[in-house]
Amino acid sequence: MDGLLTIVWFIVALGVLVTFHEFGHYYVARRCGVRVLRFSVGFGKPLLTWRDRRDTEFVLAAIPLGGYVKMLDEREGEVAPEDLDQAFTRKSVWQRIAIVAAGPIANFLLAIVLFWGQLLPGSTDVIPIVGAVETGSLAEQAGLEPGQEILAVDGMPTPTWTALNRQLLQRLGETGSLKFTVKYPDSNLNYESEVILEQWLRGAEEPDPMAGIGLTLQRPPVVIDTVESDSPAARAGLQPLDRIVSADGKTMNTWSDWVTYVRAHPEQTIDLIVERSGRQLALAITPAAAEGADGEAFGRVGVGFRWPEELLRETEYTIAGAFTQAVDKTWETSVFVLASVKKLILGQISTKNLSGPITIAKVAGASAKAGWVYYLGFLGLLSVSLGVFNLLPIPVLDGGHLLYYLVEAVKGSPVSERVQMIGYQLGLCVIVGVMVLAFYNDIMRLG
């Protein structure tokens, strides 16, 4: 059932993003007087078709991995003399630029709306307080100490764990100074420190920025917040506010310790030491077996956990404030995605971090399961990525067409068909190569 829902949410995500992207092309083409012959979401065999009053054919096709808008174009066949004024090729170079750019722009506008919807309810995230510093690590060299709150990295505020992680990710593969701004508990004084990076985590597969600098954030004790009825936890006698001290003699310092241990022991009895009202109790629990998206069984006991309020930071936005933040987030995400592409090309980030449709589908399913706010954020990130990717100056992509038209605007005449054809062939090789590598990475992750 989880696998089916993952596929459904993946198709919904692609459908929304592709529809908005192609609608951008379609809308501006119509405004420029170009006749649109077909608007297709998906490729392959049409599943559903209809025509509007302008005789544009709308298609929902069987393979939901993209879409296209087909316009009246002299390069694709003979155009009747009376229809020439509606042909894409007869429009000015600036109109053609507007039509091509409209697709990626639509993705950026969609991302703003999605992030706006994500931010409107407000957000709650973990305050980045240092829990432990690994001996000999970059964090120790920077002088970070347990109990400090990390206020900023390289001058950019890091009010939450997510913001801190995002700022560190931007330094992957780089050499240079990494600066921290921190403060001690119950102090208003800020302290500056720095450490020198040397090709930091260059080429690492699935890099973990926190582990990469030797930093562990402060985690609360494993205190239960909710217990599902008729669950292994309820049958074992666990109650809200119980603190799990150990499992099979292993100390449970953090919630992640507990989750990891439970997931690794499906249908295996675990001996617990639990603290309740100041007394320690011995209990036994047998996690139920559940099946993950990869088909592997994992343990589940049916308890919930909540971070203590003193470790959380809540942020509320007005409607206008959420919109402003959404615009900023779209811009920052675009810059980050573009910088990541650059680092991939330069070898600063491993190509093993490229993801294809299988990984995207798994993330779509996981984010949808976590809640609609997370799914909106995932869609926003994917929409930005699609917009940036399509603007890359690679022939066959929108960015490649824009490059040709900008050259035409400067020199006053179109790029020769021979040069365009060579560019398209090279561009197609690049895109196919990237797709094959992404599929390969997906398959290896499944393995």
| Active-site annotation, residues | 22
Which residues 6+ apart lie within 8 Å of 77 measured at CB? none
Residue-wise DSSP of 378-401: HHHHHHHHHHHHHHSS-TTSHHHH
Describe the crossing of helices 372-391 and 2-31 by its angle, rounded to 10 degrees.
50
> What is d(CA 413, CA 118) in angstroms, rounded to the nearest whole number?
46
Cβ atoms of residues 406 and 96 within 8 Å: no
- Residue 82 CA to residue 399 CA, distance in Å, equals 31
How far CA 334 is from CA of 116, 323, 350, 442, in Å, comes to: 16, 17, 20, 24
* Three-state secondary structure call for residue 337: helix
On the 0-12 / 13-18 / 19+ scale of CB atoms within 10 A, 258 is buried
Amino acid occupying residue 129: I
What strands, in cross-sheet order, belong to the sheet with 176-183?
A: 156-157, 149-153, 176-183, 191-197
Q: Which amino acid is at 240?
A: P
Nearest alpha-carbon partner for 103 in 186, 18, 8, 192: 18
Which residue, among 302, 276, 304, 273, has the nearest Cα to 290 in the 3D structure? Answer: 302
Amino acid (1-letter code) at residue 90: R
Residue-wise DSSP of 51-103: E-TT-PEEEEEEEEEEEEEEE--GGGS---GGGGGG-GGGS-HHHHHHHHHHH
Neighbour tally for 113: CB within 10 Å: 17
Q: Give the CA angle between residues 368, 10, 47 to the nearest 5°.
A: 135
**Residue matched to tokens 């400067």:** 410
Alpha carbon separation from 345 to 107, 203, 401, 430 (Å, rounded): 24, 11, 21, 12
Which of 401, 388, 397 lies closest to 427 in space, CA to CA? 397
Which residue type sits at 103? G
